[in-house]
Amino acid sequence: MQEAGRDDKSAGVRLTGLFQFTVRLLTETEARFTSVERINHYVKCLESEAPRQSPESDGPAPSWPQQGKITFQNVEMRYRNNLPLVLKNLSFTILPEETIGIVGRTGSGKSSLGVALFRLAELAGGSIIIDGVQIAQIGLDDLRSKLSIIPQEPVLFIGTIRTNLDPWDQFSDSQIWEALEKTHIKEMVSQLPHSLYSEVTENGENFSVGERQLLCVARALLRNSKILILDEATAAIDTETDRLIQETIRREFGSCTTLIIAHRLNTVMSCSRVMVLENGQILEFDSPSALLADENSRFRAMIEASENQSR
């Protein structure tokens, strides 16, 4: 009787373990099939972007844009159908070689301006014109190859420093070294074991955030685009690296039309004009001095609030 009881107990333990393993196997299988469902959705349901190349007759001139004038005409944008508008009837003109600071609270539509310029999401209404060319009527490669962006989170890829700075092998080593020198990072790269051909790990984890950001500035400098967007490029770095980046931008990108999406308000004080956004609309758009002189200005209130916080 005792042996039979022990056998029943042992069988019960084995059955419980088998049941647990079966449930675990079913859960893992279901989780893996989520990936299959997503791939199936991407293949069958996801809409493709616009054509990457323009027809030869409709493409912009190779030298476009020569001036860098940007005009928004009644621009409206949402990220997906049936979602609220993130940009609402925006109309403004940015003159060639102007430096525009874009400020506002989280969700005001600052980064969405960059999304609209790069056509990462198509407009729901209105148009964007750069040097007389409506960007919705040209290919994505024709557009994006002419714009440069220095993102908030610096992006580096697995490979070498050289392939990160010049992935299409368009520039000479001397041009790359010149760009690194202008961004104050030449000495750091030259001290690496293989200099330009030193390894870059995934996401550039073998470099500090500041070094990654400076490499992104060097990449933008090499492209020599007429329009540059800084999407809170100094939000996650120290004050000294911030100063180096701001110095490089003022010196090397002076002939560019520059849009600075600002996290630190002091970075826009030297801009030609400042645009204050709220809920996808423009509240104010004037020079920093004019906005600070206005007692009712939202920009002035933001500056005063930041000064009070720093005390």
How many residues are listed for the chain in this entry? Answer: 311
Among 40, 66, 55, smallest CA distance to 139 is for 55
Minimum mean pLDDT among 2-16, 110-124, 236-250: which range? 2-16
Structure tokens at 131: 């040097």
What value does the mean pLDDT take over residues 70-98? 93
Query: Does a cis peptide bond (omega within 30 degrees of 0) precede residue 65?
Result: yes
Residues whose CB is less than 8 angstroms from the CB of residue 216 and which lie 6 or more positions away in sequence, other chains included: 150, 151, 154, 155, 156, 233
Q: Is residue 87 part of a domain?
A: yes
Q: How many CB atoms lie within 10 A of CB 165?
A: 23
Among 227, 257, 262, 225, smallest CA distance to 245 is for 262
The residue with greater pLDDT, 45 or 290, is 290
Split into its structural domains, the chain has a count of 1
Q: Is residue 252 part of a domain?
A: yes
The residue with greater pLDDT, 128 or 238, is 128
- Band of the pLDDT at 81, cuts 50, 70, 90? confident
- Band of the pLDDT at 36, cuts 50, 70, 90? confident
DSSP characters for 31-60?
Answer: HHHHHHHHHHHHHHTPPPPSPSS--TTTSP
Per-residue model confidence as pLDDT tens digits over 192-220: 888 889 999 888 888 888 888 888 888 98
- Band of the pLDDT at 283, cuts 50, 70, 90? very high
> What pLDDT score was predicted for residue 33?
85
Q: Is residue 52 part of a domain?
A: no
Q: Is the pLDDT of residue 298 over 70?
A: yes
Q: Is residue 95 part of a domain?
A: yes
Angstrom distances, CA of residue 164 to CA of 1, 156, 169, 212, 215: 75, 6, 10, 11, 8
> What pLDDT score was predicted for residue 73?
95
**Are 75 and 89 a contacting pair, CB within 8 Å?**
yes
Q: How many contiguous H segments (helices) and E segments (strands) does the chain have?
A: 10, 12
| Spatial strand order in the sheet of 123-130 | 87-94, 70-77, 123-130, 133-134
Q: Is residue 255 part of a domain?
A: yes
| CATH code for position 288 | 3.40.50.300
For residues 272 and 47, what is the distance between their CA atoms, to the nearest angstrom? 39
Minimum mean pLDDT among 7-11, 40-44, 148-152, 189-193: which range? 7-11
- 44: Cα within 13 Å, side-chain hemisphere: 6
Q: Is residue 63 part of a domain?
A: no
What value does the mean pLDDT take over residues 132-141? 90
> What pLDDT score was predicted for residue 7?
63
- Band of the pLDDT at 237, cuts 50, 70, 90? low
- Band of the pLDDT at 310, cuts 50, 70, 90? low
For residues 268 and 201, what is the distance between their CA atoms, to the nearest angstrom? 34
Per-residue model confidence as pLDDT tens digits over 139-189: 898 899 899 888 878 888 889 999 999 888 888 999 999 999 888 888 889
Q: Is the pLDDT of residue 241 over 80?
A: no
> What pLDDT score was predicted for residue 286?
93
**Are 128 and 136 a contacting pair, CB within 8 Å?**
yes
Q: Is residue 77 part of a domain?
A: yes
> What pLDDT score was predicted for residue 236?
59
Q: Give percent above pLDDT 90 in the chain.
A: 30
Expressed as residue numbers, the domain containing 258 is 70-310
Q: Is residue 209 part of a domain?
A: yes
Among 119, 121, 124, smallest CA distance to 144 is for 119
Q: Is the pLDDT of residue 100 over 90?
A: yes
